[in-house]
Structure 1
């Protein structure tokens, strides 16, 4: 049974409270008027507006710019400061949402179960790999209450295994000094859209797989019939394998990481797909040497972690997309992505305009897509809208 805490109080400055009333989870230090009491890192605190009205409660962190992560609004009538009860409640809500999306299913047994701010617990991400759950911990409070979180997961989901992965950069930003690299030999085979993937849960990016592109992989499958497809920055080969399943006449998948290419090859073999060529090469060099492609998928890693990185990221996006467009002739399609929250839709479209000019191509925007529906967003937290993908046609 959890110990009930006597919460300290954090009062918000005049004119700064509205986002928190609406559910924005991150209270920056500059929004705080005063702190009553001496809360320690990870301790529960009440959050009040300038008139003393209780907005809700969250966890305090004197080491972070996110001075309070607001976990529960007062209007929810949830038990105060009961972390395990709250996590259980949020997990039950998340499960209902995924069930409404048809997850899991016979075709897909791996997906995003819990999406941090989008499921109203900032810093906690959980991916489901069949009967295995992988936690991506990116906040001090998640580390502090690991036992309570795992207990809630076992109570609601009843997984066979829980793998706990610490996300280095945000944890260091949150003042966590001791970060232990996950050592897990757990390897699972999972299905997404009827395609099988072998995933090493203690290695790779994120939790081992990028679930956010599932619906976009389905889109590429639907467009691939009769086309020659080039999948650039292919990682585990998801776009390439779906293009092959969709009836592409030729598929080439490129990544600069040799381990990623080996993993993608293994995934192709797992599915009996033999007509994909995998190449370990630099993205731009591979595109400059490509011939005959009429559908290019360009899904690079995060190039801008913050707005401070944009001055370097945008020119590289432009160079990448110029090379991609130069591969394509009239009637060709480019599906190009950014997973950087700092890159807005308008900024990316400006970059595409410039890249098309550089490549002497005329393009039309056909569609803008985002992360799959199991990656929900809270309207009060637009910063969570990180993945943007653009389908353009070359005229």
Structure 2
């Protein structure tokens, strides 16, 4: 094991509960190891702070695994996974889906594990977790007993760690397309080709809010993906639902799910650009009782924040103009770099430019199986504003 010595005064954030060590905070490295190896972390005076997975090629050079002097072995990872599964009402059996491990928030930095019925989907995002991949797979098989484990290690953060992109079965075999149950709705999920690990599990609780508010409304769902919000609105009694997405595959999955749930007559799905569709509906004079915006992240770095905010403002301004009086706007952002105050400021600006007045009924976040580590604001990324038009 090697040692990281932090520069003077750089231990405060770690002592406050944050799990990351930036390369610029390291004064020296004693007996450097391979990328992803475990190192002791000590402050400038030599006091023990914890053990971290270290990759000096990355800007985030260290990710704390433990704040104790303990063996980091197979037993350690088995315990951590069992602890994660026991949190937040997560379940390991049944036809539903949930997140079982959420990286830093579950003290397993760089590891994502989602369960879709009896299939696990994992993402390993750091060199440290890549080094213990076989140990993680064994621990998951023991704790969850899935039929198979699929890797979606094709996410861009792996490049920052010097890791190759890949996807495929890590253990077991079988179909990658399957049905999951969310409340009284069934959704088709394709884990090999879908967004994230196949479905937006982080929006589960927000879909329930849409279901509760949709009754009798004509609903427009932009960036609808495979129809999660659309079908929730239909199941809540919406008069009609239109879903729009650029992906023909996603639209096909949405149509499958609508048919499965007996909602095909109420739901219409269109392949198209949401920005263009909003402009077209405005020209036609269309008005909606509910409008849902759940776009992809417009920025993954601070350098593109200004452009991202322009994009968010444009779609929200156009959506606000299309709302009928008393209409509901469900506006989301999954960009971590657009924090809640910035997001609300953008919505205020959009409302002013649209000459519309709104109540903020709720400002929601990710589902409870995506826990938020209080000391690490990076673990809270999803914003979901529920606005009601007053004029």
TM tier, smaller: over 0.9
The structural deviation recorded for 1:360 is 2.0
1:382 pairs, out of 377, 384, 389, with: 377
Across the aligned residues of Structure 1 and Structure 2, the Cα RMSD in angstroms comes to 1.6
Q: Which residue in 1 is equivalent to 2:104?
A: 117
Runs of 5+ consecutive residues of structure 1 not aligned to the other structure: 1-6
The structural deviation recorded for 1:104 is 5.9
| In 1, Cα distance between equivalents of 2:85 and 2:279 | 45
Runs of 5+ consecutive residues of structure 2 not aligned to the other structure: none
What per-residue deviation string (whole Å, max 9, x for no partner) do you get for residues 254-278 of structure 1? 1122111111111111222121011
Q: Which residue in 2 is equivalent to 1:270?
A: 260
Q: Which residue in 2 is equivalent to 1:17?
A: 11
1:308 pairs, out of 294, 299, 303, with: 303
In the alignment, is residue 342 of structure 1 matched against residue 329 of structure 2?
no
After TM superposition, the structure 1 = structure 2 runs for residues 1-395 of structure 1, keeping only pairs within 5 Å, are 7-74=1-68, 79-82=70-73, 84-98=74-88, 101=89, 103=91, 109-176=96-163, 178-182=164-168, 185-274=175-264, 275-290=266-281, 291-395=286-390
Contact 2:85 2:92 survives alignment (8 Å): no
Contact 1:114 1:124 survives alignment (8 Å): yes
Secondary structure of the structure 2 residue equivalent to 1:248: coil
What number of residue pairs does the alignment pair up? 381
Secondary structure of the structure 1 residue equivalent to 2:288: coil
What per-residue deviation string (whole Å, max 9, x for no partner) do you get for residues 198-220 of structure 1? 21221111111110000000000
Contact 1:10 1:35 survives alignment (8 Å): yes
What's the TM-score once normalised by structure 1's chain length? 0.93
Secondary structure of the structure 1 residue equivalent to 2:386: strand
| In 1, Cα distance between equivalents of 2:223 and 2:133 | 34
What's the TM-score once normalised by structure 2's chain length? 0.94
The structural deviation recorded for 1:105 is 7.9
Q: Which moved more, 1:188-197 or 1:297-306?
A: 188-197
Contact 2:224 2:230 survives alignment (8 Å): yes
Secondary structure of the structure 1 residue equivalent to 2:10: coil
Secondary structure of the structure 2 residue equivalent to 1:204: coil
| In 2, Cα distance between equivalents of 1:67 and 1:332 | 47
| In 1, Cα distance between equivalents of 2:92 and 2:146 | 14
Q: Which moved more, 1:206-215 or 1:178-187?
A: 178-187
What per-residue deviation string (whole Å, max 9, x for no partner) do you get for residues 151-194 of structure 1? 11111111110111114321110112x32243785222111122
**Gap change, CA 1:102 and 1:46, over 3 Å in 2:** closer
Q: Which moved more, 1:182-191 or 1:367-376?
A: 182-191
Runs of 4 or more consecutive aligned structure 1 residues displaced over 3 Å after TM superposition: 102-106, 181-185
